[in-house]
């Protein structure tokens, strides 16, 4: 939640230069990645783990950038901030409901190698950082 709040605060204070994605679209992208990448993968990892199936395998994937721009074109910054905080609240609720064993549910990622639900949180924070840097440029 701290990372998402920081992104929202930084998006509010950035002087958008007109290059690249505006702050609203950046926040929208993070919302889409939360829902379509992180949460979707957490659910697949948890399912495989609880069903005693082999670890799922993933490759790098992000939502289409053109679709992202189109989706968030009409959003206000306040709407994008609210969407991000809501997506993170859902993620935190999901993660908080997992047992220690479930947080260790494994997967194999083509880029990151062997991961667990817990270790993917670091990847999420790194992704946040990467996009947060666009607010200081």
Taking alpha carbons only, the member of 63, 60, 44, 57 closest to residue 102 is 44
Whether the predicted pLDDT of 18 surpasses 80: no
| 68-119 residue pLDDT tens | 989 998 999 999 999 999 999 999 999 999 999 999 999 999 999 999 999 9
Q: How far apart are alpha carbons 87 and 83 in whole angstroms?
A: 6
Q: In what order do the strands lie in the sheet with 56-58?
A: 56-58, 106-109, 113-116
Helix residue ranges, H only, 14-137? 23-33, 40-50, 65-72, 77-96, 100-103, 117-132
As given in the structure block, the two tokens for residue 135 are 């607010």
Tokens at 134, concatenated: 């666009």
136, pLDDT greater than 90:
no
Hey, what CATH class is 2-135 in? Answer: mainly alpha
Going by pLDDT thresholds of 50, 70 and 90, the confidence category of residue 1 is confident
pLDDT (tens digit per residue) in 26-47: 999 999 999 999 999 999 999 9
- Which sequence spans correspond to the domains of the chain? 2-135
The pTM of this model reads 0.90
């Amino acid at each position: 939640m701290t990372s998402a709040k920081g992104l929202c605060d930084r998006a509010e204070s950035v002087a958008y230069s007109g290059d690249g994605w505006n702050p609203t679209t950046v926040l929208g992208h993070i919302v889409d990645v939360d829902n379509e990448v992180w949460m979707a993968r957490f659910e697949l990892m948890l399912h495989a783990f609880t069903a005693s199936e082999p670890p799922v395998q993933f490759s790098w994937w992000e939502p289409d950038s053109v679709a992202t721009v189109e989706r968030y074109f009409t959003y206000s910054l306040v709407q994008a901030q609210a969407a991000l905080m809501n997506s993170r609240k859902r993620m935190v609720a999901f993660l908080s409901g997992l047992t220690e064993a479930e947080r260790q549910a494994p997967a194999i990622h083509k880029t990151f190698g062997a991961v667990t639900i817990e270790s993917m949180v670091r990847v999420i924070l790194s992704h946040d950082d990467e996009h947060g840097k666009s607010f200081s440029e």
